[in-house]
């Protein structure tokens, strides 16, 4: 099953009066965690033209709402605004694996089986995974991501 997730930059926020930007996200319930090593795996697809959008998050951080945010800018996958994790990702499927070792405070991002990022998390005491489209800086008017084969694993 392929999940197609879309939003427009002119859509209303999550709730009236909220300062958040338009989004359509899928939260994976039943897998909230505060310790241990957890992994998100899924196959993602972003059509050309989609930019300025988060497509996957590890929610929960101490200095911001998230500990990791995989975004799309002009055909590149990034962790927040940088570093670039992969270029030329438009119009093709890629495998995304995000591993979060909450005990060690580390996150790793793999694209198609290759380690692209290994760094510290942003703390926080409770985490969960989300994927979809969440408007960020310099967005396109229409944003879309597609997903299949989603798994959450615990070591």
pTM, entire model? 0.94
Contact between 121 and 11 (Cβ < 8 Å): no
pLDDT on residue 56: 98
* Per-chain mean pLDDT for the chain: 96
pLDDT on residue 91: 99
Write the pLDDT tens digit of every residue in 73-85.
Answer: 999 999 999 999 9
Per mean pLDDT, which range of 12-21, 62-71, 104-113 is the poorest?
Answer: 12-21
Given a cut of 80, whether residue 23 has pLDDT beyond it is: yes
Percent with pLDDT over 90 in the chain: 91
Per mean pLDDT, which range of 5-9, 10-14, 38-42 is the poorest?
Answer: 10-14
- Span 23-154 CATH architecture: Sandwich (2.60)
pLDDT on residue 20: 86
Q: How far is CA 90 from CA 1, 4, 12, 70, 86, in A?
A: 20, 15, 26, 15, 10
Percent with pLDDT over 70 in the chain: 100
pLDDT on residue 6: 97
Write the pLDDT tens digit of every residue in 42-57.
Answer: 999 999 999 999 999 9
Write the pLDDT tens digit of every residue in 104-116.
Answer: 999 999 999 999 9
SS3 sequence of 143-155: EEEEEEEEEEEEC
Q: How do the domains of the chain map onto residue ranges?
A: 23-154
Higher pLDDT, 29 or 49: 49
Say how far apart CA 62 and CA 7 lie, in whole Å: 28
pLDDT on residue 14: 77
List b or e across 59-69, with b for residues whose CB sees 16 or more CB atoms inside 10 angstroms.
bbbeeeebbbb
Q: How far is CA 59 from CA 46, 62, 110, 127, in A?
A: 21, 10, 18, 5
């Amino acid at each position: 099953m392929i999940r197609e997730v879309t939003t427009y930059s002119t859509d209303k926020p999550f709730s009236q009066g909220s300062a958040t930007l338009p989004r359509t996200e899928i939260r994976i319930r039943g897998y909230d965690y505060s310790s241990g090593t957890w992994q998100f795996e899924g196959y993602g697809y972003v059509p050309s033209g989609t930019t300025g959008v988060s497509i996957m998050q590890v929610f929960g951080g101490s200095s911001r709402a998230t500990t990791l945010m995989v975004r799309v800018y002009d055909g590149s996958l990034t962790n927040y605004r940088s570093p670039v994790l992969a270029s030329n990702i438009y119009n093709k499927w890629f495998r995304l694996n995000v591993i979060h070792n909450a005990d060690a405070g580390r996150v790793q991002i793999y694209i198609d089986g290759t380690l692209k990022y290994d760094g510290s998390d942003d703390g926080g005491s409770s985490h969960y995974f989300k994927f979809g489209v969440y408007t960020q800086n310099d967005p396109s008017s229409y944003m879309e991501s597609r997903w299949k084969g989603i798994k959450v694993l615990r070591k």
